[in-house]
Amino acid sequence: MRFIDEVEIICTSGRGGDGAISFLREPYRPRGGPDGGDGGRGGDVILRASGQLNTLEHLRGQRTYRGRAGANGRGRKMTGASAKPTVVEVPVGTMVFDVSTGDRLVDLVEHGASAVVCEGGHAGKGNVHFKSASNRTPRKSTPGGPAQERRLRLELKLLADVGLLGFPNAGKSTLISRISKARPKVADYPFTTLVPNLGVVNQGWEGSFVVADIPGLVPGASEGVGLGIRFLKHVERCRFLLHLVSMVETDESIEDPMARFDALQDELQAFGEELAQRPQYVVLTKADAVPPEQIQALTQAFQARTGSPPYVISSVTGQGLKPLADACWQQLQGMLDDG
């Protein structure tokens, strides 16, 4: 399945049912009077967040969603049936914008959250409502309310507890495949991850947390270079970040690990001050391919730069993975305690 994080759809609610013009005709009540019933209310169009979805791909095949019309009223004061709503499921984290005004209508950040984006037309009134002392045979009713139509832009920002940040080939996909059941594409060339991947890290009886593997970023990402701001926006919804830095020389133009770290810190700063201040741990990856003296030198250098010792891991051998997962869990629990 492709990852689609932005799509436009057209929603049209159902019109309301018309009120009826009717008069009671019975042998024992020759002048029974007006008995036209009301129409039914038109169907709403509702967007509802579902934790079972993580892409807007399913909306690309069908761009138009219509609500059902309410039924017309009938004689004997029978009210027309109101239409059931049309429910469109979207992933958790979907923001809804009105294309014509640019206004953000709703941000669906919880499973089961819903919003009426197009209200169904109101019910028309039957002629029974227009009877009076001076007008005993009203031949008047009101039509059902019109349908509402909106062109909407849906934008998905993934919700995750921990975001994996780093250059291409930093080891993000391999890490998420080792600590969760996610199975992203893993290869020894850049940009193997072209879409964000989500994985759930199980911490036993204590609980679990969600990790997002964000596609590799490069200098200039905040201006659209590489995979650009399309995926930087997903980092905004992560509660804190793991900044993965490969200790192995890569094909990137920036070979020094510290320089790569600084380059992506600059991109976070350029994208937004709040994002740059997000809590993060530095994780030095591929420890299995680096001699111990180089690991020690890099550990000391990053501790001097950030004030905290980095985590050293190898996703191949499993070195450091359990302490890293435990540290993430403790960080999340501390953030919950702080409100």
Would you say 157 and 180 are in contact if contact means Cβ atoms under 8 Å apart? Answer: no
- Residue 339 binned pLDDT confidence (cut-offs 50, 70, 90): low
Would you say 231 and 215 are in contact if contact means Cβ atoms under 8 Å apart? Answer: yes
pTM, full prediction: 0.74
Which tokens sit at 338?
């702080």
Q: Whole-angstrom Cα distance, residue 83 to residue 39?
A: 11
CATH 3.30.300.30 is held by the domain 160-337: no
Give residue-wise pLDDT tens across range 37-53. 999 999 999 999 998 88
Instruction: Provide the 10 A C-beta neighbour count for residue 11.
Output: 24
Burial of 131 (0-12, 13-18, 19+ CB in 10 A): middle
Residue 240: which of 327, 110, 337 has the closest Cα?
A: 327
Can you give the pLDDT at residue 14? 98
Percent of the chain with pLDDT over 70: 87
Can you give the pLDDT at residue 263? 85
Q: What is each CA distance from 133 to 19, 29, 34, 44, 137, in whole angstroms?
A: 21, 18, 13, 38, 10
Asked if residue 216 has pLDDT above 60, the reply is no
Asked if residue 30 has pLDDT above 80, the reply is no
Which tokens sit at 328?
């993430």
Locate the domains of the chain by residue range: 1-156, 160-337
* Average pLDDT score, the chain: 86
For 232-238, what is the mean pLDDT?
75
- Residue 315 binned pLDDT confidence (cut-offs 50, 70, 90): very high
Between 63-67, 122-126, 184-188, the lowest mean confidence (pLDDT) is in 184-188
Can you give the pLDDT at residue 190? 39
Asked if residue 287 has pLDDT above 80, the reply is yes
CATH class of 1-156: mainly beta
Q: Whole-angstrom Cα distance, residue 162 to residue 335?
A: 12
Asked if residue 133 has pLDDT above 70, the reply is yes
For 15-30, what is the mean pLDDT?
89
Q: Is 161 helix (H, G, I), strand (E, B) or coil?
A: strand
Can you give the pLDDT at residue 275? 77
Give residue-wise pLDDT tens across range 297-308. 999 999 999 999
Residue 95: which of 53, 151, 185, 157 has the closest Cα?
A: 157
Can you give the pLDDT at residue 189? 37
Can you give the pLDDT at residue 188? 45
**266 half-sphere exposure, CB direction, 13 A CA radius:** 12
